[in-house]
Chains A and B, each alone.
Chain A
Amino acid sequence: MLPEKQKKVWNVLGDLLRIVLIVLFAFVLNTIILFLSKKDVSLVYTSMFKGAFGDVYNFARTIRWSLPLIFTGLSFAVSSRSGIFNIGAEGQLYLGAFAAAWVSFTFVSLPSWLLIPLAILAAIIAGTLYSMLAGWITETFQTSIIVVSLMLNYIAILFTEYLVRYPFYIPGTLGDSGSTQYIADAAYLRNIIPGTNATTGVFIALIAVLIIALINNATVVGYEARIIGGNKRFALFSGLPVTRRTMMVYAISGALAGLGGAVEVLGVHHRFIVNFAPGLGFDGIVVSLLANGNPLLIPISALFMGAMNSGSITVEMFGKVPKSMTDILMGLIILTITIQYTPQFVQYCRAWFTKKHTKMKGNN
């Protein structure tokens, strides 16, 4: 029993090490770029670090930016584990956010303990249904989930904008600035660091992480979802209810993204703002890839991405480098992750690993 447990721990540590190595490699490349453009490398990085972790307010901002990425990262991790490249988290997040906003500015008389769960539930339902729509289209018409979910993103984003500008438009108020009215105070998520945007959403995110880890690793359905991701035809031949499980995966994936939207609205914006979260869905893909799809590591990789976001402001103010440096850094990280998935690289690593492995066996 012990060796297996050890192996599990090693697997987690290995994935953690992987994150560190990828980030390190990207930073090295980024340093070269900074160096070539004759910037003060140490000043850039210290101001970045200060911006992300320098004091309690900076740290709170880092958390604020990490939170939605945990949800979208989980959303992508869940679906990609079953071999579904669902990149629709962004659209599902928008619909979830609007649903949460609608509940909490409509049922203003409800108490906090009822209103917040209701708003969250509405967001989850909106995200779930929208994701299942993508799933239904993909599975019924045998189309590409990438295309379907990508296009549905635009529909969701523009649909919520329509809702804000027409059915929920109130003249002379926030409507003109492209947002709904403010939600009831009772729906606000409480701050965990006073005066900042770091809210109790953190706990919601961590609960979501634990639930997903539990589903993935401890349940029969989670095991079946892994088999479907491993080889769908094999799953079909083995009599797994592939369609049902796949739709379940779409549903969970959408629920997570919708939940992320609720946390954004209830925790940060307190209203629905048109086009409020560009890129959160896509950054979630990077978060998931960086964590190798492991839900337990997603908070860590999300924290890193949040820190980069948060630090980018001070980089521009004090580091004398444009904010877009973080975009370059992000690009380098994606590039580094992508290299890992090229067949040659995988083959090379596998050969190296088996060589080592057999050596180890030989020593036994």
Chain B
Amino acid sequence: MTNTDAIVLKGITKRFGNTVANDKIDLSVKQGEVHALIGENGAGKSTLMNILYGMFKPDEGQIYVNGELCNFNSPRDSIIHGIGMVHQHFMLSPSLTVAENISLGHPPTNGLLWKPKILEEKLKEYKNIFKFDVSLDTVTSDLSVGMMQRVEIIKTLYRGAKVIILDEPTAVLTPQESDELFITIRRLTNLGHTVIFISHKLKEIMEISDSITVMRAGKVVNTVKKTETTQRDLAQMMIGRDLVGVNPKPVEVGKKVLDITNLVVESNVGKRQVDNISFSLNLGEILGVAGVEGNGQTELTEAILGTRKVKSGEIVMFDTNVNNLPVENRLRLGMAFIPQDRIIEGLALPLTVRDNLILKLRNYQPISKNGLMRWGEVNKKCKELIENYQVKVGSEMDLVSSLSGGNMQKVVVARELSTEPALVIACQPTRGVDIGAAEYIRSMLLKLRDDGNAVLLISADLDEIMELSDRVIVMFEGRKTGELLSKDADAYKLGELMFTVGSDE
């Protein structure tokens, strides 16, 4: 191992519109080390790595690779300079074989003819190093997630990568697969490769990395050696601000409307995403679910909605066990659901605002009668909703795709609240929404609570959680790591729970 810097970034700034995603970032990564890059959602980690990988061009700043000033216009340029990236969502074609995926874009030829032997020879050494005992002719879709990730890593090596960026590599892995990944990473650094490791999970960062750079709000807070820091310090650096709950109303607990006991939910590939969670929610309160994204919140909410199967445990809603009820029946009990991704789950983009707005009321009079839609009434109702929720749209017959993100979200909220639900599951309700619309949506949630309804608020935005919730639970790796009243909560306490500081101490 030498002590030369493999990568040096100087004064990198990247703006998207008015937001500064990266603000004068300086970062140096030594050759042969595992360098962890950590920070909250939206801290600018991914942007920075995409710049290093040539996906984005920085507005300001320089990139040096092995001391040489580089100008990357596309990933092709960065690959030539020995940088490889393994994305969180794999860039593999599932129907191709392992060999085809690895050599995609860089075919094994002797300049003229297709020579699969060259590929096999080259890959033989990797196979030994990484214990990759899979035939190159295996179709990729038959591999496990961990194996696919190894194919991705081998792909970067085959293209000559010396520096490998791993974007939240453990997010999709089971604990055993994570352990194997760490062994792989160690083998890579032993061979002189450099690894940049993006993660939220302090425990594994302390396990695998040599140096750690903490980012917050587009800036580098600090770079420290692992031996000179603790999980607690890191968590404080990541949160780095005082959050104050501004929710003034004392909790007046009403009837229990959602009761979850020992809930276990698995991902599509059988990974345990919600691990034995219990909590309850009463009328007249907002329960915040804090936690870094990807710690089981999505699976939890989908299980409550009914689009995901419960493995074990119970979900009781309005005194009804809903474990085996379809979504339809659960909604009829008085639940509404604001999904986390309005484009994928919350709207039908090819259709009109009207079609999107009236869906939940379609079986109510006077919107429909005897199975027939009454479009006159529909239009009247749509105009009313558009006005009440201040949706900026020319006419309800406009396509919903022509709206801005904030107004799309208002359409979602207006529709979900149109049935006057007593229980609202709000998942990331203000994500990607302009400040005005976000404030408006938050005030709607508070008003719901003040009117005596129950809100389950899932948000990766700690400020939002602190501002709205009466009570907060924290999720980490599918488990509930804490539950506290928001008047007892502060940023550090939540941060420690979110990153489970000291879970191994």
Q: Which of A129-137, A189-197, A238-246 contacts B (4 or more CB under 8 A)?
A: A238-246
How far is B330's CA from A219's CA once the two chains are assembled, in angstroms?
Answer: 24
A343 to chain B, nearest CB (A): 14
Measured between beta carbons, the chain A residues less than 8 angstroms from B362 are 220, 223-224
How far is B327's CA from A220's CA once the two chains are assembled, in angstroms?
Answer: 18
Residue in B327, B355, B363, B371 whose beta carbon sits within 8 Å of that of A236 in the complex: B327
A218, A226, A239, A354 — most chain B CB neighbours (10 Å):
A239
* Contact of A230 with B345 in the complex, beta carbons under 8 Å: no
* Contact of B371 with A237 in the complex, beta carbons under 8 Å: no
6 tightest Cβ-Cβ pairs between the two chains A and B = A230-B348, A239-B327, A231-B348, A239-B328, A230-B351, A239-B331
* Contact of A234 with B402 in the complex, beta carbons under 8 Å: no
How far is B359's CA from A3's CA once the two chains are assembled, in angstroms?
Answer: 23
How far is B362's CA from A246's CA once the two chains are assembled, in angstroms?
Answer: 18
B456 to chain A, nearest CB (A): 16
* Contact of B346 with A237 in the complex, beta carbons under 8 Å: yes
* Contact of B372 with A220 in the complex, beta carbons under 8 Å: yes
- Give per-residue flags for A213-225: 1 if the beta carbon is below 8 A from chain B beta carbons, else 0: 0000011111110
Measured between beta carbons, the chain A residues less than 8 angstroms from B379 are 1, 4
Q: A223-B355, A231-B349 are in contact. Are A7 and B327 (CB under 8 A)?
A: no
- Is residue A355 within 8 Å, beta carbon to beta carbon, of the partner chain? no
B334 to chain A, nearest CB (A): 12
Known contacts A218-B372, A223-B373, A239-B326, then 11 further A-B pairs from the complex at CB < 8 Å, ordered by chain A residue: A220-B371, A220-B373, A226-B351, A227-B348, A230-B349, A230-B350, A230-B355, A236-B307, A239-B332, A240-B328, A361-B394
- Is residue A320 within 8 Å, beta carbon to beta carbon, of the partner chain? no
How far is B306's CA from A224's CA once the two chains are assembled, in angstroms?
Answer: 19
Could you list 6 examples of A-B contacts with CB < 8 Å?
Answer: A4-B397, A218-B373, A219-B371, A229-B350, A234-B347, A237-B337
Q: A1-B376, A227-B348, A238-B360 are in contact. Are A221 and B371 (CB under 8 A)?
A: yes
- Is residue B344 within 8 Å, beta carbon to beta carbon, of the partner chain? yes
Prevailing SS type, chain B contact patch? mixed
- Is residue B339 within 8 Å, beta carbon to beta carbon, of the partner chain? yes
Q: A4-B379, A220-B371, A220-B372 are in contact. Are A234 and B345 (CB under 8 A)?
A: yes
- Is residue B189 within 8 Å, beta carbon to beta carbon, of the partner chain? no
- Is residue A233 within 8 Å, beta carbon to beta carbon, of the partner chain? yes
Measured between beta carbons, the chain A residues less than 8 angstroms from B346 are 234, 237
- Is residue B305 within 8 Å, beta carbon to beta carbon, of the partner chain? yes
How far is B373's CA from A219's CA once the two chains are assembled, in angstroms?
Answer: 5
Measured between beta carbons, the chain A residues less than 8 angstroms from B395 are 3-4, 7
How far is B327's CA from A361's CA once the two chains are assembled, in angstroms?
Answer: 41
For chain B, the bracket of interface size reads 20 to 34
A216 to chain B, nearest CB (A): 11
- Is residue B66 within 8 Å, beta carbon to beta carbon, of the partner chain? no
A294 to chain B, nearest CB (A): 15
Prevailing SS type, chain A contact patch? helix
Measured between beta carbons, the chain B residues less than 8 angstroms from A235 are 348
Measured between beta carbons, the chain B residues less than 8 angstroms from A224 are 362
A212 to chain B, nearest CB (A): 15
A6 to chain B, nearest CB (A): 11
Measured between beta carbons, the chain A residues less than 8 angstroms from B328 are 239-241
Measured between beta carbons, the chain B residues less than 8 angstroms from A230 are 348-351, 355
Closest to B416 in A: A238
* Contact of A227 with B355 in the complex, beta carbons under 8 Å: yes
How far is B363's CA from A363's CA once the two chains are assembled, in angstroms?
Answer: 39
- Give per-residue flags for B50-74: 1 if the beta carbon is below 8 A from chain A beta carbons, else 0: 0000000000000000000000000
A229, A235, A238, A361 — most chain B CB neighbours (10 Å):
A238
How far is B363's CA from A220's CA once the two chains are assembled, in angstroms?
Answer: 8
How far is B397's CA from A354's CA once the two chains are assembled, in angstroms?
Answer: 15
Closest to B342 in A: A234
- Is residue B298 within 8 Å, beta carbon to beta carbon, of the partner chain? no
* Contact of A220 with B368 in the complex, beta carbons under 8 Å: yes
Measured between beta carbons, the chain B residues less than 8 angstroms from A239 are 306, 326-328, 330-332
List residues of B (312-334) whose CB comes within 8 Å of A's CBs.
326-328, 330-332
Closest to B394 in A: A361
Measured between beta carbons, the chain A residues less than 8 angstroms from B332 are 239
B302 to chain A, nearest CB (A): 9
A360 to chain B, nearest CB (A): 10
* Contact of A237 with B402 in the complex, beta carbons under 8 Å: no
A244 to chain B, nearest CB (A): 10
Closest to A238 in B: B359
Closest to B398 in A: A357
How far is B305's CA from A238's CA once the two chains are assembled, in angstroms?
Answer: 9
Residue in A4, A218, A219, A231 whose beta carbon sits within 8 Å of that of B347 in the complex: A231
* Contact of B373 with A354 in the complex, beta carbons under 8 Å: no
Closest to A230 in B: B348
Q: A4-B379, A354-B402 are in contact. Are A237 and B327 (CB under 8 A)?
A: yes
Measured between beta carbons, the chain A residues less than 8 angstroms from B368 are 220
Measured between beta carbons, the chain A residues less than 8 angstroms from B351 are 226-227, 230
Closest to A214 in B: B372
List residues of B (354-397) whose CB comes within 8 Å of A's CBs.
355, 359-360, 362-363, 368, 371-373, 376, 379, 394-395, 397
How far is B326's CA from A234's CA once the two chains are assembled, in angstroms?
Answer: 15
Measured between beta carbons, the chain A residues less than 8 angstroms from B345 are 233-234, 237
Closest to B335 in A: A239
List residues of A (224-271) whose CB comes within 8 Å of B's CBs.
224, 226-227, 229-231, 233-241
